[in-house]
Each structure stands twice: as C-alpha cells, then as structure tokens.
Chain A
Amino acid sequence: MLKIDHLTKTFGEKVAVDDLSLRIAPGEIYGFIGHNGAGKTTTLRSVVGIQQFDAGEIVIDGVSLKADPLACKSRMAYIPDNPDLYDFMTGIKYLHFVADVFGVGAAERQARIRQYADTFELTGDLGQPIAAYSHGMKQKLALVAAWLHEPRLIIMDEPFVGLDPKASHLLKGMMREVCDRGGAIFFSTHVLEVAEKLCDKVAIIKQGRLIRAGTMEEVKGDDSLEEVFLELEAE
C-alpha cells in the first residue's frame, strides 16, 4: 500500500529525514514513534505530498508520488497534528468542500456525513462556523472529512491529541475497519500504550534515521514498547 524508499529531506544544514525506507501492506495499522523533532512529521508530510523531499521514492498503491501526485492524493487522507481548518466555513460547508474536491457523489456524501458526524456526536454543530469549534471538535471534523471519500490509505499525525476518551475509542474502531476493508493506516503517536495495543507494526525513528521497524513482537520482544523505546533513545 505504501512504499517509502531512501527518503531524505534536509532543511539547510539539518538532515530531518535520512535515507528512510518503510513498507506498509494493506490491512496494517502502522505506528510511527520517535521523540520530538525526530522526523516523524516531515516523513508524514512528504508521504502526503505537501513537503517536497530531496531524494528517495514514495509509492502509494502502486503509483509513484512524484510521477502522479494527484492519483496518490485521491487514494489518501491526511490529518495533521494541529487541524488548522478553514475557520471561515461552517462544519458542513467544509465537509462539502472536501467531498467536492474528492468527487464524492451527493447521495454517498450525505450518507457518510450522517454516519461519521453522528458517530462523533458532531451533527448538531455542523451549522456552526469552524472558528467556534474547540480543538477536539476540529479534530473530529477533520476525521469525518478524512473518511468521506473512503481512502485506501490514511496518514495521521498524533490523531488522538485533543480527542475525548469516547472519541479516541471510536477512532480506534474506525481505523481497524479501514484495515479490514483492505486499507492501511500510518500514524505517529507519543502514546506508546496506544501504539502497543493498536498497531500491527511499528517503526521507531531517531534523528531522521529509522532505528527499528517490524511487527510489534519483532520490535519489543518480551519487553514493553515503552522500555524498548527508552532503551533505543538512550543509545
């Protein structure tokens, strides 16, 4: 589903991502962990095509991101760490905007908006301007928008930040459903307990370099993910 080969991105002198390679197969929830500034967000932004990179190749569902970025983007959805949405729109206008751009038909979008907005108990607030939303509500709206076009691959940067416990629980269920349908999820998190319970595979990044990746068992063995992570960070 997602193939990253030798991805490298520098900002001036600083190497943010250094020769990173990863494979994510259909049906996998893939966690991406690392300390602040390790290169997680830069990697995720490169994958969704909003960050130009210096070297490497990213292939999504068999399509090269460099060769056909629009085809790749139409198969994906992205939720950044801080959902800065269009504050001047109402929630429903924003959802229609995203649905229009992804070419989601009128009947399908209506059904999906109803389904996901109800799931997150957001329906009553869809007529409100986004400027009036709390951080958590914006995050929920971004999630509804991301699920609208039934993407094959969902990229999320710290998706659980700002969500209440119920919404976090619902999101985990929705992530699993995407994978059960043959899709994949690639997300970054600092909550190692969540990663440990939810992810099929996990990758640890340090100073832009991938230091460990594989199934949860391969990465942590008999220890907890937290212990392994702290041990690797200390090295």
Chain B
Amino acid sequence: MMLKLLVKKQLAEIFRTYLYDAKRNKARSKSSTILYFAFFVLIMVGLLGGVFGMTAMNMSGIISAGFGWLYYALLGLVAIFFGAFGSVFNTYSGLYLAKDNDLLLSLPIPAATIIASRLLGVYLMGLMYSAAVSVPAAVVYFLTAPFTAGALLGALLWIWLISVFVLVLSCVLGYVVARVSLKLKNKSFITVLLSLVFFGAYYFFYFRASNMIGELVTNAALYGGRIKGSAYPLYLFGRAAEGGGLAMLALAVFVLGLAALTWYLLRRSFMNIATASGAVAKTRYRERPARQRSPFAALLGKELGRFTASPGYMLNCGLGLLFAPIAGVLLLIKGRDAAALLASVFGGGTGALAVILTAALCMLAGMNDIATPSVALEGKSLWLVKSLPVDAWTVLRAKLSLQLLLTAAPTAFCALCIVIGVPMTAAETALLLAAVLTFLPFSAAACLFLGLHNVNLSWTNEIYPIKQSVSVFMAVFGTMLYTLAIAVLYFILEPAPLVYLACVAGVNAALAAALIIWLKKRGTAVFRAL
C-alpha cells in the first residue's frame, strides 16, 4: 500500500508534464496526454528502435548461419551498455540526493519502501533504453528464424533480465559515486571525470564492436565456436534468448541473484549515505578584494556556477563540449582519409563532404542543451531573480549566453580542425562556417524556447528538469532530427552544395532571429508569469 503510494508519487513526478498543464494550472485532457505519450513512443520506437533495428537487420546473417545465440549475445551486450549509459546518472541523484529523502525518512515508511520506489524510476529509464535495442533484436530474430513458443518465452525473459541487469549495474555505479562523493571536495568535477572514463570505455567498446560485427557476420561459425569454447557464459546469455531451458535458468539465477545481492547492500547502506553530511573539511572564509560586475555578468556567473556545480547537468546537457574537440582532433588525423572515402562514395568534388561535415558539426553543437532546463532549475529560488532589479530579458539572455559561449569555443576548435584537416574549397569552407555559426544561436534560442514551456518548478530531484522533462526530450531529439534533416535533404534534393549550404545558413539565421524575437517579447512575459 505504502509502496503503491510512493510509486504513484514517483511516476507523477516523472510524467508530470505529460499529465499536467503548468500553463493552465490544471490536468491535461485525456487526448492531450495520449498525444504526448504517442509522441514519446514515436521518438523511442521510430528513432532509437529504428537505428537499432537496422543494426539487428545487418546482423541477421548470423541467425541464418545457425548462430542465433551469438546474434542475441552481441545485441544483448549492446543493450546492456546502452541501458546503463542511459540510466546510470539517475541512480546517484535519484536515490541519494532526492530533496524529499529527509521528509520521507521522517515518516513511518520503511527505508526499503523508499528505495524500491526510487529504484522504479531508475529501472524504467534503464528498461526504456535497453528495450530500444533488445526489442528490435527479438523482432528481427523472429523475422529471420522460425517461430516457436519456447523462443518467444526465451526472448521475453531475456529482454526482462537485461533490464534487471542494467538496474544492477546502475545501482553499483550510483553506490560507488555516492561513496566517493562523501569524501571529495570537488565532487562535481570528480563525478564528471569518473563518468567520462565510463563514457570512454563505452565508446571504445562500441566502436570496436561495430568493426567486429562485419567480421563476425561473415565468419559466424569460426567465431561462434571460439566464443562458445572460451566464453561459455556469453553463449548461455545468447542461448537463453533462443529459449534454451538450461541457459534460461542459468541466466535467471545469475541476474536475479545479483539483483538480490544489490538490494541487500542498498538496504544496508542507504540510510548511512542518504543522511550523511560528508566529512569534507570546512572552508574558512578569507576576505579578498571585491570586484564589481555588471548585473548581466553576475547572472551569467550564476548560470555557470549552477552548471558546474551539478555533474548531472554537465553530463546530460553539455556532452557536446567534450565531443566537439574530440571530433576535431580525429578529423585532423583522419580528415583526408575520410574525405577520400566520401568522395569515392558520392563522387564529384568535396561539396557533399562539406554538407555532411556541416550536419555533423551542428549535431555535436546540438548535444548541448544547457539552456533548456535552466528555467526549471530555478525551482524554489525563482523568487530571487524575480525580486531583483533586473528585467526578465537580462535573466533569459544570461541563460541563452551561457549555452552560446560554452558551445562556441569547442565548436570553433572543431571547425578549425576541419579547415586544417579536410580538403575543401574556400567557398565550401566559408559556407560551412556560416551554417555552423548561425546554427549556434538558433539551437541556443530553441533550447531556451523549449525550456520556457511546461516549466516544473516544484521538482524534488534535479534530474527531472535536467533529463526527464518533455522540454529536454524535445530539445535533444529535435536537434538531432534537424541536423539529420540537413544531410538527408541534401541527398534527396541533390542541389548545388554551395547553394544548399547558403540556404542552411539562411534558414538557421532566420529561425534564430524569429526565436530571439519570441524570447524577447513572449518569452519574457512567460517568465514573469511563472
């Protein structure tokens, strides 16, 4: 009963914007809620499911060769990594940093019930991401292999056990981060650093795996035999999905055993960590000469302070800051080879290359959606900026500028690497730069525009405005779709590359101008009314 109540509260918080219209201060109509959920499902199934469905199709040769277990084992690993990647950052903040932990712990609710309700949010996120891989994998399997009831049961069990395993992985990492955080002074940056190491390992594995897939498909029998001989648990992992009775039992015992152990450890440590104040030495204040800044600079500093104080904020909304320079260095090293490869595929000059690089660079810049959660993150301290003698536009401009400034530097570095490392004509280079430079204010304004819609200021955990709000969801996938459209439309319409890039720059500039005008006029009114 108690668990049901807490789970209801947790779900209401996660799906608040789907169920509640903050603008009208009332519950959404049924049709509106259905539309919101339909959009969400469309994005998850259409975009993520589509991408991994294609991957599964490319690997279906392994099934035809009689190595269905290998196919499931490989995609299962991808599902685990993708699921953990998607949900790992929820665990620490969702479990240990929830603002209502003290309140709930003061009520006659068993700690285990609180943990269970919190874990449900983490589990749902892990399930969502892992299922984006595991479900298309199972669908493609049944399109290729004959259908049996045993295989269906195996696939369903496999999908579920993967999601449970993802939860276990997320909990373990969340626990490590929580333990480390208690002892650290600069915990935000250390947490980001640890997470980036995780990202690095993830991408290293992922890229290596991508290269290996082709090799595996062609030599499935050879590699299948080797893996079965040297990594038998991996064989059982894949075999369970095909409906192998012993494999299903072994996998279930292993995963559920791990889950039980994790649950036991979490129950034992939760109170200690959730209520600990940390043993970090107190910083003694020493007066230093003060320097007066303008109100705008003060607000910009405040936004930067908020961004750098939260690992969740940095990792979820600022990944482009890291990926753009990495891509730049890679292009410096491999740019000429990539150009030659693309020229051989698409023929002609370097026009197509310029368009693809424009879309790629915009996509990297679009990975930063810092401005989107910045309004909701004001939370209960919103009264502060509203009571200070600064107009709403200055407040919004600071939010907009932070994203613009932080995104501009790594994007400029990447663009410079492209100019040096990739052979293009002067006109192509100039138009690539124009298209990217106009994209930056457009994406920042679009992020803030979305952030001013469905604002939830009464969150109990910052992960909701940062990661789980509809606005953030739309910012992430909207930018992805827009940048993909830049490349796809070029190949559909086949225009002259220079004309096309000029059009992209023009559209970006026009959209940026329109959004900034909206923000100045309507956006400020929306902010004042919050």
Contacts and interface: CB of A to CB of B under 8 A. Distances in A.
Interface of A: 12, 45, 48-50, 52, 70-71, 73-74, 76, 78, 80, 82, 84-93, 96-107, 109-110, 114, 123-128, 132
Nearest to A72: B389
Contacts of A85: 381, 384
B309 A88 contact: yes
Which A-B residue pairs are the 6 nearest by beta carbons?
A: A100-B298, A88-B309, A127-B285, A50-B386, A73-B389, A74-B389
B34 to A, nearest CB: 26
Contacts of B379: 84
B290 A86 contact: no
Given A100-B297, A100-B298, A88 B286 contact: no
Contacts of A128: 282-283, 285
A39 B176 CA distance: 48
A106 B302 contact: no
Contacts of B387: 48-50, 73, 76, 78
B299 A114 contact: no
Given A88-B306, A93-B305, A70 B291 contact: no
B305 A101 contact: no
Interface in B3-27: 25
A100 B391 CA distance: 14
B293 A127 contact: no
A53 B379 CA distance: 21
Contacts of A109: 290, 292
A233 B405 CA distance: 56
Given A114-B287, A124-B284, A104 B292 contact: yes
Contacts of A96: 290, 298
Nearest to B309: A88
B381 A106 contact: no
- Looking at chain B, what size class is its interface with the partner chain? 35 or more
B134 to A, nearest CB: 38
A14 B47 CA distance: 46
Contacts of A125: 285
Interface of B: 25, 277, 282-287, 289-295, 297-299, 301-302, 305-306, 309-310, 379-381, 383-384, 386-391, 528-529
27 contacts: A45-B383, A50-B387, A52-B528, A73-B389, A74-B389, A78-B387, A82-B380, A84-B380, A84-B381, A86-B305, A88-B310, A90-B283, A92-B285, A97-B302, A100-B297, A101-B298, A101-B389, A101-B390, A103-B292, A106-B291, A106-B292, A107-B290, A109-B292, A125-B285, A127-B284, A128-B282, A132-B277
Contacts of A87: 381
A185 to B, nearest CB: 16
A101 B381 contact: no
B295 A100 contact: yes
A48 B382 CA distance: 13
Contacts of B291: 106
A144 to B, nearest CB: 13
A139 to B, nearest CB: 14
Nearest to A100: B298
A143 B259 CA distance: 50
A117 to B, nearest CB: 9
A100 B294 contact: yes
Contacts of A76: 387
Given A91-B285, A110-B287, A110-B289, 18 more contacts: A73-B389, A74-B389, A84-B381, A86-B381, A86-B384, A89-B305, A92-B285, A99-B290, A99-B292, A100-B293, A101-B388, A102-B388, A103-B295, A106-B289, A106-B292, A109-B290, A127-B283, A128-B282
B530 to A, nearest CB: 9
Given A106-B289, A128-B283, A73 B388 contact: yes
Nearest to B278: A132
A99 B286 CA distance: 18
A52 B529 CA distance: 7
Given A73-B388, A73-B389, A97-B302, A127 B286 contact: yes
